[in-house]
């Protein structure tokens, strides 16, 4: 909707602006040809127009700077209030959600101040336009009274002056309309000017696939807070590597670095012996399937969302991926089966069902490397067993790198990489090797086993 509004602004206001500027220039040139004195008067009135435009831009910009930040905050709070109804109702805080009230009050106060500034801008702009008209009328009246201009010339010149003032008003209104969309235009400009990850001119082909190696990888989202520090480990083809560690240790970041959503600050990541920075993006993406914790589904049919991974997949391949991920149960439940639309973001499905669709998508792609980020976090025990079984099948042909907290998933891994709080590799080995050592993994395993044994006990 906002992009449509921006397109309308460009098509409507910009065309009117250019047409009005051309009309003003034509009137001035025509007056110079007809009567140099009138042309001179119009030319000298131009600085007034420029001053008026500058005043309008200055006041409108000041108003936008006041309103835009608080309106963004207000919009975010409204969305937050709508999305967090469950938590707010559970806490009994629906009626006392002060953050939303404060944001709305600040937005209303800013809008009132901005309205005064915009009104003042219109008054000043109109005053400068009328000043131009006053200059023209004074010159015409002087020439008419002195006998230098006849009645017909006077009427014609007055008509030109009024047309000139109308075109000036159109110019000011068009500029004001463009200014009202300046924030959206700036947002689009930021997106278009966002720095892209560099592409190599001579990409290396990914011939040998399936192996993953990280060598002394460092990464930070900002320079003062490193997330990954000196991480090194290797994953053999057709094996399963589990990455464990405390929250904030950089587990998800590692998967995003392997996918080259970001470039490493130092070190290198190799897929099949090729640095991901030296591979073509299309080749790199063809090697990877990704199942992230935050699953997004498009407002399309269930089948279309899964076929996104491989549009030319056969019906048999689609059915097999659905069976392994447990999506066939979802198909049976939905009124139109495969052709049921899942809604924007997959809102027609539960969190666990969305996760299963995402896993089916990864299974259908049949990439040599599959990245799972908390893939079983939203599934019940029965479905988790199905996913673990599908992981075992994937290991026959693909390399699996799994970020998980579930004990069954971790134990099944051929290799476990344990990260510490600083984003460094604390331990690497199999479950049997690491649980026998006194280290972060053993403590992690002990806590998980204790948590698995928790139960609610009645006080009666």
Q: What span, in angstroms and rounded, lies between the C-alpha atoms of 459 and 284? A: 57
Residue 354 is part of a domain; what is its CATH number?
3.40.50.300
In a domain, 205, yes or no: no
Residue-level pLDDT at 234? 93
The answer on 179 and 218 residing in a single domain is no
Same domain, 301 and 250: yes
Alpha-carbon gap, residue 11 to 172, rounded angstroms: 16
Do 139 and 222 belong together in one domain? no
Domain identity same for 178 and 98: yes
pLDDT at 232: 93
Does some domain include residue 84?
yes
Q: What global pTM score does this model have?
A: 0.68
Q: Give the domain-ending residue among 193, 220, 239.
A: 193
| Domain end residue (candidates: 158, 193, 228) | 193
Residues 363 and 216 in one domain: yes
pLDDT in tens for each of the 460 residues of the chain?
566 666 666 666 777 777 877 887 887 787 787 777 777 877 777 777 777 777 777 777 787 778 778 878 888 888 777 777 767 676 666 566 677 778 888 888 888 888 888 788 778 777 777 777 777 778 778 777 777 777 777 787 777 777 877 777 777 777 776 666 666 677 777 777 777 777 878 888 887 778 899 999 999 988 888 899 999 999 998 889 999 888 888 898 999 999 998 899 999 999 988 899 998 888 888 888 888 877 788 888 988 999 988 888 889 988 888 888 888 888 888 888 889 888 878 888 877 788 888 888 888 888 899 998 865 555 666 666 666 777 777 777 889 999 877 777 788 888 999 998 888 999 899 988 988 888 888 888 888 777 666 554 555 4
Q: What pLDDT score does 96 carry?
A: 64
- How many domains, the chain? 2
183 with 223, same domain? no
Q: Give the pLDDT confidence score for residue 231 in this predicted structure.
A: 92
Contacts with 210 (C-beta within 8 Å, 6 or more apart), sequence order: 236, 237, 238, 272, 368, 369, 398, 399
Residues 185 and 224 occupy one common structural domain: no
Question: Token match 């240790």: residue?
Answer: 249
Q: Show Cβ contacts of residue 301 under 8 Å, excluding neighbours closer than 6 positions.
A: 336, 338, 339, 340, 341, 342
Provide the token pair at 16. Answer: 């009117």
According to the model, what pLDDT value does residue 206 have? Answer: 80
In-domain check, residue 201: no
Q: Is residue 459 part of a domain?
A: no
Residue 141 falls inside a structural domain: yes
**Residues 407, 248 contacting (CB under 8 angstroms):** no
CB atoms within 10 A of CB 58: 13
Q: At 212, is the secondary structure helix, strand, or coil?
A: strand
Sign of CA dihedral 223, 227, 232, 237: negative
Inter-CA distances, 51 with 46, 55, 62, Å: 9, 6, 17
CATH of the domain at 144: 1.20.1560.10
Identify whether 207 is part of a domain: no
Residues 58 and 167 in one domain: yes
Kindly state whether residues 303 and 388 are assigned to the same domain: yes
Backbone angles phi, psi at 301, to 5 degrees: -70, 160
Residues 181 and 216 occupy one common structural domain: no
Last residue of a domain, one of 193, 224, 239: 193
Instruction: For the sheet with 399-403, list strands across it.
Output: 288-291, 369-373, 399-403, 240-244, 415-419, 425-429
Q: Is residue 409 included in any domain, yes or no?
A: yes
DSSP characters over 16-79: HHHHHHHHHHHHHHHHHHH-HHHHHHHHHHHHHHHHHHHHHHHHHHHHHHHHHHHHHHHHHHHH
Indicate whether 93 and 174 sit together in one domain: yes
Sign, Cα dihedral of 228, 233, 238, 243: negative
pLDDT at res. 235 = 92
Q: Compute the C-alpha angle 365/367/368, nearest 5°.
A: 160
Find the angle CA(153)-CA(158)-CA(159) to the nearest 5 degrees. 100
Domain that holds residue 153: 1-193
- Residue 199 within a domain: no
Q: Max alpha carbon distance in the chain (Å)?
A: 112
State the pLDDT at residue 377. 55
User: Do 276 and 414 sit in the same domain of this protein?
Assistant: yes
């Amino acid at each position: 909707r906002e992009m449509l509004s921006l397109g309308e602004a460009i098509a409507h206001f910009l065309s009117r602006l250019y047409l009005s500027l051309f009309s003003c220039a034509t009137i001035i040139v025509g007056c110079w040809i007809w009567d140099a004195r009138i042309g001179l008067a119009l030319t000298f009135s131009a600085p007034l127009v420029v001053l008026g435009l500058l005043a309008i831009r200055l006041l409108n910009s000041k108003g936008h700077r006041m309103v835009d930040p608080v309106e963004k905050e207000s919009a975010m709070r409204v969305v937050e209030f709508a999305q967090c109804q469950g938590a707010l109702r559970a806490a009994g805080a629906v009626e006392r959600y002060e953050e939303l009230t404060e944001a709305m009050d600040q937005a209303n106060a800013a809008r009132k101040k901005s309205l005064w500034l915009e009104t003042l801008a219109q008054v000043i702009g109109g005053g400068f336009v009328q000043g131009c008209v006053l200059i023209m009328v004074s010159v015409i009246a002087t020439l008419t009274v002195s006998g230098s201009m006849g009645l017909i010339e006077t009427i014609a010149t007055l008509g030109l002056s009024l047309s000139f003032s109308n075109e000036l008003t159109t110019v000011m209104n068009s500029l004001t309309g463009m200014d009202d969309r300046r924030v959206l235009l700036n947002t689009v400009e930021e997106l278009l000017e966002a720095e892209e990850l560099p592409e190599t001119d001579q990409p290396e082909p990914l011939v040998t696939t399936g192996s993953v190696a990280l060598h002394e990888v460092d990464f930070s989202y900002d320079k003062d807070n490193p997330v990954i520090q000196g991480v090194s480990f290797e994953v053999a083809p057709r094996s399963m590597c589990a990455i464990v560690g405390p929250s904030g240790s950089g587990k998800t970041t590692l998967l995003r670095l392997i996918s080259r959503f970001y470039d490493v600050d130092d070190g290198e990541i190799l897929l099949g012996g090729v640095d991901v920075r030296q591979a073509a993006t299309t080749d790199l993406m063809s090697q990877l399937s990704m199942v992230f914790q935050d699953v997004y589904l498009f407002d399309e049919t269930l089948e279309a969302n899964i076929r996104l991974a491989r549009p030319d997949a056969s019906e048999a391949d689609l059915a097999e991926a659905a069976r392994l991920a447990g999506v066939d149960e979802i198909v049976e439940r939905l009124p139109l089966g495969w052709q049921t639309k899942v809604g924007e973001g997959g809102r027609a499905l539960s969190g666990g069902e969305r996760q299963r669709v995402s896993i089916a998508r990864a299974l259908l792609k049949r990439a040599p490397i599959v990245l799972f980020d908390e893939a079983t976090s939203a599934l019940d025990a029965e479905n988790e067993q199905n996913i673990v079984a599908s992981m075992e099948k994937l290991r026959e042909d693909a390399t699996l790198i799994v970020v998980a907290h579930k004990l069954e998933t971790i134990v099944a891994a051929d290799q476990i990489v344990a990260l510490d709080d600083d984003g460094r590799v604390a331990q690497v080995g199999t479950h049997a090797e690491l649980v026998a050592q006194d280290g972060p993994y053993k403590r992690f395993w002990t806590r998980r086993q204790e948590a698995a044994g928790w139960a609610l006990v009645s006080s009666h």
